[in-house]
Each structure stands twice: as C-alpha cells, then as structure tokens.
Amino acid sequence: MKVLRLPKSPKVLLGLGILGFFILMTIIGPWLAPYNPSATNFAANLTPSAHHWLGTTSLGQDIYSQLLVGARATMVVALLAGLVATILSVTIGVAAGYLGGLSDDGLSLLSNVFLAIPGLPLLIVIDSYLPVNSRSNTFVIGLIISLTGWAWGARVLRAQTMSLRNRDFVEAARIIGEKRHRIMFSEIAPNLLPVLASSFLFTVLYAIGAYVTLAYIGLTSTAVWNWGTMLYWAQANNAPLSNEWYWFVPPGICIALVGTGLALVNFGIDEFINPRLRAGGLTSRQRRKLGLPRRVRLGLTPVLRPAKAPRVSTAPAKLVSQ
Amino acid sequence: MRMIIRRLSLYALTAWVAITVNFLLPRLMPGNPVQTMIGKLTGQVTAAEMNAIQLSFGGSFKQGLFAQYFTYLTQLFHGNFGSSITLGAPVGAILRESVPWTVGLIGVSTIVSFAVGTFAGALLGWTRGSRLDSLIPTATFFQAIPYFFLGTVMLLVFASNLHWFPVLGAYSQNATPGWNWNFVGNVIRYGELPVISIVLSSIAGWMLGMRNMMITMVGEDFVLMAVAKGLPRRKVIMHAARNAILPSIANLSLAIGLVVSGALLVELVFNYPGVGDLLLQAVLNEDYPLIQGIFLVITLTVLCANLIADVVYLALDPRTRTEAAV
Amino acid sequence: MSADTFDIQAVSPMKEGPAERKGNAVANVERSEFVLEVNNFSVDYGVGENMVRAVNDVTLHLRRSKVLGVAGESGSGKSTLVYAMTRLLRAPGVISGGSVTLNFTSRDDEKEFTTLNLVTASEKELRKIRWSHVSIVLQSALSALNPVLRVGREFDEVLKTHRPDMSKAQRRARAVELLTMVGLNDDRLARYPHELSGGQRQRIMIALALALDPDLVIMDEPTTALDVVTQREIISELHDLRSRFGFALIFITHDLSLLVELADEIVVMYAGEIVERAGASELYEAPRHPYTLGLLNSFPPLHGPRRELSGIPGSPPDLSDLPAGCNFYPRCPFAMSRCENEAPALTAIENSDRSVACWLHSSDSSVPVPVELSRTVNPARNPVTTLKERP
C-alpha cells in the first residue's frame, strides 16, 4: 500500500467521473441555476423549452433550477451522514475488534441490535417525533440517518480488525514493544483503509436513499430544496400519471447516477481488496490471435498453437561414464 | 443448537430494544409531542378513547416513568397495541388487515430476488469474462434507483401507457376476497408489477455478492479437485456454488431490512393495501399509536425472518456447528 | 523437436492428421511399457511480453507401477509441470509445447490398451480418464475437500460418476474398503473435513485417489504439512498400497530424503528444467549435479551418521530474468567460466541409466570432477533402511 496507483479499470474511472460531476454540481449548482427554484412566477406545467430546460412544475417553478439547487442539500446530507456513520462504525468496530473480551461482546451486541432493526421504519418513527422546525435542519436529518446506518460498517470493520490483529506483522510489532496506539495507527489502520473506503461509500449510498425517501414521504421540510422534495411535489401533483416525465424523472435519474457512481468505485475497491477479482490478463481478441480459447476454463489448461520452441541449451560434448 | 439459542436471545433482546425505543422516543423528543397531542385531542375524543390512547403510551402521565413503562409492556403482552387516533379502531385490528399483504409482497419479492440473483451471480462468477458481464453495470444502475422511483416509472410505462399490467391495488374491484381461484389469480396478477419492481431494485446486490464469492471459490482447491475427479461441469459448479452462497444467506438478514424499507414505498406507489400507506398516513396525521404499532410489527417480522435465515445458514454450513459463534 | 499436435506412438500405425477437435484416443495399440510419456513439454505463465517460462522442454517417461520422484525448491516448476501435464494448471498458465501421452488399460477389457495425448485431448476425453486412470493428491487436504460436504459424499460422487453401474450400497462398501486400507475407521465417512486431523485428511485423500484403481497417481507434496511421525507412517502406507494396487506414482517434494525410500527414479528440477535424473539410491549416494548435492546437504536423514548441514547459498532464480548460461551458475560452488555463457542440456551419462545437465561431467572439461560429485555407489553398503527391503 505504499504506492497509490491510479486505477486503471474503466468501471472505476467511470464511477469517479460520475461522482466528480455531481460534486461539481453540488458546489456550483446554485450559481448556475437560471432562476430561483421556489419562484412561482412562471407559467405552470410547461414542457422543456429553451427558457426552461426541464420545463416547469404545476406551481410554475423552473425544474432545472430546482435540480441544480437541490443537488447541494442531497449530496451534503448524504456525505455528512456517511461521514458521521463511518466515524461511528470505525470507533465501535475497531475498538470491538481490537480490544476483544467483554468490550467486544458489548459493542457487538450494540451493533447487532442496530443492524437487526430495519432502518427506514426506525427513521420514520424518529423523524415523525421531531418537532417540525427541526426537520428543516439538514444536520439533524443527517445525524439521525447516520444513527441508523453505522451498524453494518462496524461489523465489517470489527471482522477486519480481528483478522489483522492476529497477523504476524502485528505480532512482530507487539514483540518489538511498539505502543498500542502506534500499532493501531501504523500497522492496522493502513490495512483497514480499503475496507473503510468501501464501507464509507456504501453508507453514503444508504444515506442518499434514506434522505430522498424521507423527503418523498414528506418528513423533511419543504423549505430546503433537494431531489427527494422534488419527487414529493411531483407525486403530490400527480406528475407520473399526467405524463409529466420531465418533472419526476430527472431527480430520480440523478439519484440513480450518484448511486451508480458510488457502486462503480466500490467495484474498484473490491478488486483491490480481493486480487482474485481483478480482471487481469488478455482481452478476448488477443486470446483469439494466439489460438487460445475465449475464456479460460478450469481443468482445461490452454495450449498455444502453434507451439513455441523451447529455450535451447547446448549438449555437453560427451559425458564421462561413472 | 447453542447457536440458535444465541441468535434467538439476540433477537429477543433486539425486540426488547425496539419496544423500549418505541416507549422512550416520544418522551425524549424536544417539545414532548405526546403531551401536545393529548392536549390537542382533549375535548375532541371521549374519555374512554382518551384512556385507550393513553394506555398505548403507557398509561396516565401522572404516574412515574417506570410505572408507565410497566403498563406499556403489560399492554403489549396482552396484544393491545393501543388505539389509532385517526381511525378510531384498535391498532391490532387495523394491522391484521394490512400486514399479510405486506408480508406477502415482501416475502415473494425477496425469494424471487434472492433466487434469480444468486443464480445469475453464480453464472456470472463462473463464466467470468464472457459477454454476460455487461449485466453487471445494468443491475448496479437499477440498484441505485430508489425503490419508489423505479416503481413509479414502471407503473407509468407498463401499466398506464402500455396497459400490460393492471394499474393500482392488490386485486380488481369486482373480485370478492376469499380463497377462491378467481381472487387468488387476481392477487397474483396485480402483484406482478410491484414484485418485478422490487426485484429489479434489489437483485444487483445478490448478483454481485454471489459473483464475487464464486470467483473466489473458483480459486479454491476443492473446486480444482472436483474438476480433477472428472465430474461433469454442472457438478463442479454446484460444488463452488454451495460454498459461495453462504455469505449471501448470512446477508439475507440485512437485506430483508432494506427490502422492507423499499417495499413500503412501492406499496405507496401501487396503492397496495399493505402497511406502507398506513404508515404514511399515520405519519402525516401524527397518529402516534399507529406509528408505534406499525414499527413494532415490522421490526418483529423482520426479526423472525432473520431467525429463519440464520437457521438456514446453520443447516448449510457445518463449520458453524462446532465453532464458537461470531 | 517440433511440438506438433500428433500423437506419439511407439509402435502401430495410427491415424494422422490434426486431432484438435476430434477425439484422439487410440485404442488397441500394442502395450507400451510406459504409462506416461512426456516429451519436450514446456509451460509458460502469461503470453507475450510478460511471459515467463516455468517449465522448459521436459522429457520424462514413467514405466508402469514405478515411482518417480520430482524434487526441487519452491519455484522450480515441479508443481507446474505436474498440473500442466494433467491440464489442471490454472490461469495464466499455458502449455507452450510438447506432448503428454497417457497409456492406459481400458476398464472393460484388460487386454485393450488405449493411448491419449493429454495436451490435445478434448474435455470429454479428459473427463473420462480423470480419476479413473489419473488421480491426484493435493498438498493441503483441508482445502482440497469441500468444507460443506461429508467425506463420504466425495467418495460416493466419484464412484457414481465413473461407475454408474454400482449401486449405492456397493459404493458405500467400496468407500469403507478404501478407508480400511489406509487405516481409518469407516465412521470417518460421516465427518466433515474440519472435524478430522491433518493426518486423517491426508489418508482420506489418498484413499480417494485410489478409489477407481487408477494407472497413475500424482502426489503434490502430500506430507509437507504433516509432522514427521505421520509423514513416516504415510510413506510406509504408500509403499504397501503400491504393492497392492500396482499404480505408478509421481511424488513431488522438496525433501529428497523422503524420495530415497519411496522412489525408483528421481528427477531434480531447477528453474523449470530437469538438471539430473537417476535411480533413487544412486542419486542419494552419488549425486552428479551440484544442485542435487546442495539439496542433499540441506536435509538431515533420520538415520545415518551425523553430518554438517549446509544450505545452498543465494536464492531461487527469477524466472523472468534467467542467466544466459547455466541457470544454476550464480549459486554453484563449482562454477566454471564456461557455465556463465553456455547452458548445458540434459545428457545421458555413458554406461548408465542416468542423465545430468552439467559441464563438469563433460568429457572435454578441463577441470576434474569434484570429489563430491564423483562418488560411486557401493552396493554392499546400506546405511539407510529402505522400505524396498521389506518383503
């Protein structure tokens, strides 16, 4: 893990590209928006046109602006919730895995309980009890989302820490007399990074879904624009059944794209963690040229055609007899 | 057997936590929503109804916290989930109507998704590098789409526009509920699109997990042994798949939680008479007893499903029977 | 030395022509004394620029019921050779030349002999001979057995596949018989692999390998993971099993001392090539190649006089960057200037059945052969009790 190589896999590059695009949208979206998303002074239910790239809502608001402005809250909440949840899962998971014994039992129990309770219903219940003014606070929403999303990462990190703890190089560090926190930082932590990154991405994926769902149900304040709220209004005004695809399809597609981007990057991390998953070797065209079968099949070691000549050696002139 | 008892006690504990959370939440929230609600309702409901409502929260607020908790637990054990504010009926009765629909929908969807997903994943893992691999990004994309969104799109395209499927509801209006063939056939017909929608949204996870495990398995010695034994290819794949599927079953528990969440929303979209719409209405109307009841029932159902999944896992992996539990 | 795809036949006219997709098992040929003939066999890892040659131009012939030991360090190519021979080598391994011919008796008729070039065989043909004529014992029995299946299932499965006429009871009886032969109780059949000890698992692997009475059994370091005592027991059991079943055996190991007692002939591999081939006791007592000498000096025998241990200096060669001359040159204590630029080929030593690939033994060598490499075998002296002496 010394050298940070740029990923070569096209899947990962695509994923990073998609994520980069949406992070850009998060940052400069509100600037680019042509109109105020809440402004209702346009004609209602317009189909996409030059003035309104995505048309207008039933209330006369510009959908394109809503999309751009909404990116910010959606992404920020998702990333924030993902971050907080990951911090929670690292703290609890690594502690449980490293400390072992009673602390491990207690923390594992905690994670298992949170894991077993289904996330969304719990979210809905908690959110429904929130006073209405809190619901507009994206931080609060992000916080409660992270409360329901940390358990999976904790379990994975605990398992990983446990397996690392018993590895030879950690044992060696302990024998040399390294301090515990140094061991955790310089020996265990670097090996946890890929799993950590993967866990973070999964959590962000969960968070964005949870946030959008909450908004769709109407449990977040409609004052803050996000993609879920757009879907809420679209549903409330019967956009799907009135064939106003330009209203509810774009936010959904955006959500899906962000999710896909996250998943694609996760593939790359998966392949990094498990070398067997890497798609090494030749392309099928190269194989065909060499006379090899298109796919390597187990138990059928391929034979090169035409065969190659062996590395030539010279025979000694004569060998003495015994 | 010891393992099962451990899992059972874990789930019992979780159930208890869920119940306690249900009890504590309204009291922990700023602004004490329950008091406010009671205050709002005073004068609008009869004394008897007020009593019933208070009971669902643990009795009169004039008692101490522990006394309320005790009352609350006792009520639960008697099957009394309280009384819905908006619908005026006991929560238990309301739920008895809608829960079977939800359980049916989620159950069928999960089974189909799991079966098709792991099968496809096994094939993908085994025939790695073939054209089938293009399925992966497609499935990933579908996975990232929120359940309700996909449901909406499918409803729009296939039901409203193409008329391939019926539009809304669980059965046609003129069918009479009951165990007759007409009704059952109706249910199946109306259930097709929601199930397809949920399956599409969740299948990528199974596919990928199984695929990755299959690829790992192919690198294991015992699969090479199976080939060396001269077994037909089908049997070799079974050897690998039998092992590769284990983590997926272990993850079934987690997945059920996610599927439940998504399915609730799909019910909304398709107007399915399950728990989803009920929950939404309850939330909008701040019908706390109903919310609590639904939450509890969902949690308990998920825990039961988890337990079943754990038992299946124990049956399939002999190594867990002798080793200590994780 | 062209690596064509035709069968190599000792006698009998046979059909010629490219036999890639069609079957090329030829039946009813005259009995060959060799069960396995490997000719000019080469195996690479990868193709193109990053290709690494793991096995280079190996030729060996194994007679029926004889034991061939293949010795060498890790990375010498011995496992690669053997897996590639049976087409079980995993990606990115590729066979880049040569032929591997298996001569076996057809089950139905003892008189009918068939020959099959494993390199060109189709999947169907390979499946037919796999386990029924060639079986393999992998190094780690724990990972070689399916962890979720009972041991009995493995037996049942292989018997069912190749002997469909056997009934379930017969299959079970056969499994019990096999277990008894390796000294295990038949209740082991109901166990899972993780419930057994290392020695028990290895015995089960051996019993499994013999289930169909194959012509050839290949064992890849079967005792490496076991303790010395169990190792001994298993080697001795192998000897008994061999006299009983009469299979030919290829035994791969890095521990030469094991081979002395078990093998008839030993080949020593280095950097993917055979550097010496000789009878077992000949090799042990009178090695000719410096590498063999180094190997022998690395392992203390259980019996015999005490001797100072010395390893082989340096480390195994990087196969992607082999020296121009002899592969062993950088580590050879007897290296000459000639060795640096010219690679010696495996050549037979006159008046003997041995071969060696070393310039020291060339008749035009200016340097006298070192004492250690010119010992003679004393037939009267027998410092080591060999298993072969047992009645």
Q: Is A317 on the interface with B (CB under 8 A)?
A: no
Give contacts of A11 with chain B, Cβ < 8 Å: 137
In 10 A of CB A188, how many CB atoms?
Answer: 20
Q: Where are the domains of chain B?
A: 23-80, 101-321
Max avg pLDDT among B249-263, C22-36, C71-85? C71-85
Instruction: Note whether C242 and C45 are within 8 A (CB).
Output: no
- Distance, in Å, from the CA atom of B23 to the CA atom of A88, rounded to the nearest integer, reads 25
Q: What is the pLDDT of residues C192-203, one digit of tens each?
A: 988 888 888 989
Q: Confirm whether A3 is domain-assigned.
A: no
**Cβ-nearest to C195 among B232, B239, B322:** B322
Per the model's pLDDT, the better-predicted residue between B132 and C72 turns out to be: C72
Give the pLDDT confidence score for residue B293 in this predicted structure: 81
Q: Confirm whether A310 is domain-assigned.
A: yes
Give the pLDDT confidence score for residue A134 in this predicted structure: 65
Instruction: Note whether B147 and B262 are within 8 A (CB).
Output: yes
Q: Determine, for residues C157 and B235 on separate chains, whether the beta-carbon distance falls below 8 Å.
A: yes
DSSP three-state, residue B154:
helix
Q: What is the pLDDT of residues C156-204, one digit of tens each?
A: 999 999 988 989 999 999 999 999 888 888 888 888 988 888 888 989 9
Domain count, chain A: 1
**Cβ-nearest to B225 among C144, C161, C192:** C144
Q: Confirm whether A5 is domain-assigned.
A: no
Q: What CATH number did the domain enclosing A57 receive?
A: 1.10.3720.10
Give contacts of B235 with chain C, Cβ < 8 Å: 157, 161
User: Can you read off the two tokens belonging to residue C319?
Assistant: 């196969």
Q: Confirm whether A1 is domain-assigned.
A: no
Over the Cα atoms of chain A, what is R_g?
27
ipTM metric = 0.81
Give contacts of C89 with chain A, Cβ < 8 Å: 301
Give the pLDDT confidence score for residue B115 in this predicted structure: 93
Instruction: Note whether A259 and A209 are within 8 A (CB).
Output: yes
Give the pLDDT confidence score for residue B325 in this predicted structure: 35
The DSSP annotation for A197-209 comes to HHHHHHHHHHHHH
Q: What is the pLDDT of residues A34-70, one digit of tens each?
A: 878 787 777 777 777 777 777 777 787 888 888 888 8
The domain over range B101-321 is classified in CATH as 1.10.10.10 = no
Q: What is the pLDDT of residues B127-180, one digit of tens each?
A: 877 777 778 878 888 888 888 888 888 887 877 777 777 666 666 655 666 667
Helix ranges (DSSP H) in chain B: 2-28, 33-41, 47-56, 65-77, 91-126, 135-144, 147-154, 181-218, 221-228, 233-270, 275-284, 288-316, 319-322
Percent over 90 (pLDDT), chain A: 3
Q: What is the pLDDT of residues B199-215, one digit of tens each?
A: 888 888 888 888 888 88
Q: Is C376 on the interface with A (CB under 8 A)?
A: yes
**pLDDT averaged over every residue in chain C:** 81
Q: Is C129 on the interface with B (CB under 8 A)?
A: yes
Q: Confirm whether A304 is domain-assigned.
A: yes
Q: What is the pLDDT of residues B214-267, one digit of tens each?
A: 888 888 889 999 999 989 989 999 999 988 888 888 788 777 877 887 888 888
pLDDT less than 50: residues of chain A:
1-3, 321-322
- Distance, in Å, from the CA atom of B141 to the CA atom of A7, rounded to the nearest integer, reads 21
Q: Confirm whether A60 is domain-assigned.
A: yes
- Substitution target in B140, B155, B163, B326 with the highest count of A β-carbons within 10 Å is B140
Give the pLDDT confidence score for residue B33 in this predicted structure: 63
Q: Confirm whether A4 is domain-assigned.
A: no
Q: What is the pLDDT of residues B33-44, one digit of tens each?
A: 666 666 666 666
> Residue C384 pLDDT more than 50?
no
Give contacts of C195 with chain B, Cβ < 8 Å: 322
Which positions 139-158 of A are in contact with B (Cβ < 8 Å)? 152
Report the range of poorest mean pLDDT among A81-90, B12-21, B45-54, B207-216: B45-54
Q: Determine, for residues A116 and B127 on separate chains, whether the beta-carbon distance falls below 8 Å.
A: no
Average pLDDT over residues C220-244: 86
pTM: 0.80
Nearest Cα to C215, choosing from C175, C246, C243? C246
Percent over 90 (pLDDT), chain B: 7
Distances (CA, A) of B65 to A293, B17, B37, B57, B73: 73, 17, 18, 11, 12
- Residue range(s) defining the domain that contains residue A36: 10-321
Give contacts of B225 with chain C, Cβ < 8 Å: 136, 138, 144-146
Q: Confirm whether A281 is domain-assigned.
A: yes
